[in-house]
Amino acid sequence: MMGGMAGLEGVEQPRQRSSASAGRWNTATEDEQAFKAVELYGNPTEGEVRLPSRPESAATARRITSCVMLRQWQLPPQTAEHGVLLVSELVGNAVRHTGARVFGLRMLRRRGWVRVEVRDPSRGLPCLMPVREMDVSGRGLFLVDKLSDRWGVDLLPRGKTTWFEMRASDR
C-alpha cells in the first residue's frame, strides 16, 4: 500500500473490513476454526469444557456450539443459529458479571431436545430485565427467554449453572 503513514511506504497495512465482507460467511474457514476449538478445548458433549473468562472466549464458545450442533448433531441451521446466539449471551454474562477466571460449557442431547449449560463460580443470579426498543444492552436474557423453550439457573455449592433448552428435530 503506497502513501499514508510516513516511513511505512511499501509495508502492507491491515485493511478495514467493509460491512459487506464482514457479513459474508466462509463455511470452510468457520468449520476449520470450529474443529480446532473442539480439538484444543474438548468436546462439550463428552464433559464440561473449561474456557478462560475473557471476551474472546465467546467466539470460541460460538464455534464449538456451531460445530456440535451442525456437524455432530446435524441439527437444522436455524436451530444451530439460535443455539449459537444464546450461548454467546450466556457466556457474555458469565464473562462480564461474575469475575471468574474460567467458565464451563456443556452440551447435552436427548431425543427431541438440546440443553446447553454455562457454569461459573458466582452465586449471583441473572435477572431478566424489561427491554425497551432503544436499549443498547441488557437484552441477553430477553433473547434467551424468547428463543429457547426453557431456561433456568441451578445453584451449586460453589457457583451456578445457567442453562437453556430447545426442541430439536431428530433426523
For 118-146, write each residue's pLDDT tens digit: 999 999 888 777 776 665 566 778 889 99
Yes or no: domain 26-127+135-167 corresponds to CATH 3.40.50.300: no
Q: What are the extents of the domains in the chain?
A: 26-127+135-167
User: 162: which residues sit within 8 A by CB, 6+ positions away?
Assistant: 90, 93, 94, 117, 118, 119, 120, 126, 151, 152, 153
**Whether pTM exceeds 0.85:** no
Structure confidence at residue 1 (pLDDT)? 41
Extract the residue ranges of the chain whose pLDDT is less than 50.
Answer: 1-25
